[in-house]
C-alpha cells in the first residue's frame, strides 16, 4: 500500500499527480501548515525530517519503507511502475536526469530567496532586484528548451515534467514568469489540462499554484 503524507500547498501535490498518471492505488493522509507556514510536528512521527512529501510503501508483510525528497520519490515510483514515466530512449536520459534534479537544485532556491526577500521591507525590494536577473536566466533557459519540444525529456510526459511543475507554477502564480515566455505558458496549460492532473487536484485539495 502506498501512502502520501500530503501537506497543503506544497511539493507533495506533485506526488499525488504522479500517482494518478501511473494509475497506482494510494491513500492520502492530509496535514495542515502551522500559522508560520511550517509543517506540523505530526510529520516527524513518519520521518525524522518532518517535512512533506513523504511516501510510505507498506508491503504485504507490514514492512514500511519511507521515502523523502520529491525527486527521490519520483525515481522510486518510476522504478516501482517498471519504468513508466521514465525516459523512452537512451538519448532522452540525460535530459530526464537533468530536469528531474534541476527543479529543486537550481530554480526553487532562487524562488525561495525571492519569497523570503519579499517579506523584508525596503532591503527586501533591493534583494529582489538583484535576484530577478538570476531567475530570468533560468526561465529563459526553460523557455528555450520547451521551444524545441513539448516535454522536458522527449516526446511524451515524464517524471521530469512533474518535477518541473512546482517551480514553474510558483513562478507564474507570483508574477515572475512574465508574458514573453509562450512555450512555458503553453506547457503549464498543457499539464493543467491533463485528466490525471485534474483528478489529483480534486483528491489533494486546494492548491494555490494551479493558475
Considering the chain, what percentage of its residues have pLDDT values greater than 90?
A: 64
Cell numbers for 137, please give them.
536566466
CATH for 162: 1.20.1050.10
| Residue 73, domain member (yes or no) | yes
Could you tell me which residues come within 8 angstroms of residue 139 by beta carbon, excluding any fewer than 6 positions away?
171, 176, 177, 178, 181, 184
Write the DSSP symbol of residue 204: H
Residue 6 counted as domain residue: yes
CA distance linking residue 151 with residue 30, whole number of Å: 30
Task: Indicate whether 121 pLDDT > 80.
Answer: no
Residues 100 and 47 in one domain: no
Q: What is the pLDDT of residues 20-30, one digit of tens each?
A: 999 999 999 98
Which of 204 and 9 is assigned the larger pLDDT?
204
| Sign of the alpha-carbon dihedral angle for 53, 57, 63, 65 | negative
pLDDT tens-digit map of 63-103: 999 999 999 999 999 999 999 999 989 889 999 999 999 99
Q: How many domains does the chain have?
A: 2
Same-domain check for residues 64 and 122: no
Question: 104 and 117 share a domain?
Answer: yes
Domain extent for 178:
90-195
pLDDT at 53: 93
Q: How far is residue 73's CA from residue 104's CA, in Å, rounded to a whole number?
A: 13
Residue entry with cell 492548491: 207
Q: Which of 85, 113, 147 is the last residue of a domain?
A: 85
How much is the pLDDT for 32?
Answer: 81
Query: Hey, CA dihedral for 66, 71, 77, 79, is it positive or negative?
Result: negative
pLDDT of 126 higher than 80: no
Tell whether 76 and 140 lie within a shared domain.
Answer: no
Amino acid at each position: 500500500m502506498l501512502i502520501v503524507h500530503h501537506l497543503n500547498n506544497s511539493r507533495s501535490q506533485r506526488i499525488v499527480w504522479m500517482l494518478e498518471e501511473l494509475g497506482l492505488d494510494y491513500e492520502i493522509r492530509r496535514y495542515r501548515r502551522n500559522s508560520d507556514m511550517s509543517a506540523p510536528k505530526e510529520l516527524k512521527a513518519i520521518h525524522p525530517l518532518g517535512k512533506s512529501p513523504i511516501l510510505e510503501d507498506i508491503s504485504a508483510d507490514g514492512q514500511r519503507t519511507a521515502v523523502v525528497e520529491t525527486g527521490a520519490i519520483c525515481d522510486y515510483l518510476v522504478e516501482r511502475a517498471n519504468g513508466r514515466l521514465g525516459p523512452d530512449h537512451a538519448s532522452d536520459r540525460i535530459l530526464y536526469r537533468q530536469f528531474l534534479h534541476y527543479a529543486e537544485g537550481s530554480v526553487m532556491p532562487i524562488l525561495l530567496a525571492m519569497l523570503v526577500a519579499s517579506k523584508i521591507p525596503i532591503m527586501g525590494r533591493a534583494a529582489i532586484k538583484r535576484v530577478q536577473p538570476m531567475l530570468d536566466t533560468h526561465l529563459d533557459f526553460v523557455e528555450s528548451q520547451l521551444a524545441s519540444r513539448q516535454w522536458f525529456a522527449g516526446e511524451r510526459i515524464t517524471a521530469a515534467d512533474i518535477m518541473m511543475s512546482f517551480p514553474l507554477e510558483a513562478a507564474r502564480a507570483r508574477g515572475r514568469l512574465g508574458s514573453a515566455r509562450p512555450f512555458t505558458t503553453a506547457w503549464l496549460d498543457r499539464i493543467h489540462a491533463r485528466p490525471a492532473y485534474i483528478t489529483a487536484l480534486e483528491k489533494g485539495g486546494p492548491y494555490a499554484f494551479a493558475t
